[in-house]
Amino acid sequence: MADKPHLLDLNLQEWSEYIIGIGHKKYRARQIFEWLHTHLELDVTRFSNIPDDIKNHILNDFYTTPAKVVKHLKSTDGTEKILFEMKDQKFVETVWLKLRNRNTVCVSSQAGCSLYCEFCMTAKGKFQGNLSTGEILEQVYIFKRLVGETVNNVVIMGMGEPLMNYDAVMKACNLLNHDFGLNIGLRRITVSTAGVLPGIKKFINNEEPYNLAISVHSLNHDVRLKIMDAEKKWPISDLVKYLIENKHNLKKNKLTIEYLMIGGLNMTSRDAKELGYLAQKLDAKINLIPLNFEFDDYKRPDEKSIDAFFQAVKHCGVQVFNRSSPGYDIQAACGMLKYQTV
């Protein structure tokens, strides 16, 4: 069962090939696709306009057991978090954020994470592997059905490193954007990375139309090396050089620099100037995020320090946001996702 494709893994072209392959007319593919991606119906037996012969084939050839909702937590600020159990006993957490005019789902791309960042609770758990395209989509679809509201923003920023699961993630983005699916706008889908340079190169060379967010957290090699596994493999200097050289392939405001503020580590005036200068060079916006998960001697900065750093970066004439941490009380804020099964 584990090696069967997930019910949501196939795009419309692949469904067409499958339907023709089992001896049926191509139009059935669109009917099935719409049941799955428009109506978000994951129970094949409820496909009322599909013949039993086709439904039996699907039930035999695909993994059709929905992800199990193990926990559904609600924060005092309206944020919600679900712990899902996927096939093969993989566990992931997914977050619903209701902010201003956006209903955002923060989606996991791996069960655990294949990279290690000191400040992230996900890295403290066991890595259980990549999620399939269907398992990524299922998080959005189940959450939407449970909450009963429109999803108009998706960020692949949950558990895992999306660019270490590149093909499944990009296929999921394409399906989220599909006219016969949720039809989420290209600029309302964001893929995040800890700085996986080969994946970033592929993203840019493939001219992917989605937003890209890169977690920088420091432009100093030694500082970044202390807290991010990615720095060992893809130094920040190489990453910055590549981005500047390929700036013409990045649309303005398509790139976001994520910067975690850690008291006593990466919040000097020099850090602020270097960060602002980089954003200028790349026409990027900056998201500043206070540390949520404290570790060793690294602490969340006080509000005065946060504001001072924000103002110093803003003084560089760039677009910068001081991001809050919704869902802190249910461990749904940035860096706090780690499956808890008890």
Residue 334 falls in the annotated catalytic set: yes
Tokens for 149? 């509201």
Element (H, E) at 309: helix 303-314
Task: Give me the residues paired with residue 82 across strands.
Answer: 72, 94
Exactly one of 93, 135, 208, 258 is catalytic; which is it?
93
Exactly one of 106, 113, 120, 334 is catalytic; which is it?
334
Q: What sign does the dihedral 219-225-231-237 (CA atoms) show?
A: positive
Give the span between the Cα atoms of 315 and 318, in whole angstroms.
8
Distances in Å between the Cα of 168 and the Cα atoms of 10, 14, 131, 289 are 11, 14, 8, 28
Q: Tell which phi-psi region holds residue 231, choosing left (phi > 0), alpha (psi between -120 and 50) or beta.
A: alpha
Distances in Å between the Cα of 300 and the Cα atoms of 108, 250, 257, 264, 292 are 24, 32, 19, 9, 7
Residue 106 falls in the annotated catalytic set: no
Please provide residue 199's backbone torsions phi and psi, each rounded to the nearest 5 degrees: -70, -40
Q: Which residue has the tokens 């789902």?
A: 105
Any idea which residues carry the catalytic annotation? 93, 334
